[in-house]
Amino acid sequence: MTERRAILSGSTFEEEIGYARAVVDGDWVHVSGTTGFDYATMTISDDVVEQAEQCLRTIGAALAEAGSSFADVVRVRYLLPDRADFEPCWPVLRRRFGEIRPAATMLVCGLADPRMKIEIEVYARRPATG
């Protein structure tokens, strides 16, 4: 039977809506769309670049708990309400993904809370063990 387990970040949204920050399913790690909220304090910066950095901190923690890392990411999706906010985030995103070059898509769309300026979702394949 394939291993399947949920990873929670402590976000109140996970409980209120009914989802997990990430799901490990065998070798795959599916990380939910992650916004710039610091889930320990449930605060969010007004700055899109700081939000992107916080998204990546939260995603990194979920990947680590899953036995994975950014090096294992094969797919990333960026969701932003304002396309002009994407380019300022490029240096932050390049630091995490520039060497691994995952498949990527950026979509312009509304997010659940008007304070949210970016949401990032990733899929990773865990390294073989043994």
Structural domains for the chain: 4-125 (3.30.1330.40)
Q: Reduced to 3 states, what is the DSSP secondary structure of residue 63? A: helix
Q: What angle do CA 84, 12, 52 make, to 5 degrees?
A: 25
Instruction: Report the pLDDT value the prediction gives residue 34, as an integer from 0 to 100.
Output: 96
Please say whether the beta carbons of 34 and 120 come within 8 A.
Answer: yes
Taking the C-alpha atoms of residue 4 and residue 24, their distance in angstroms, rounded to an integer, is: 5
- CA-nearest of 113, 22, 12, 3 to 68 is 22
- Is the confidence at residue 103, as pLDDT, over 90? yes
Mean pLDDT of the region 43-68: 97
- What percentage of the chain carries pLDDT values higher than 70? 97
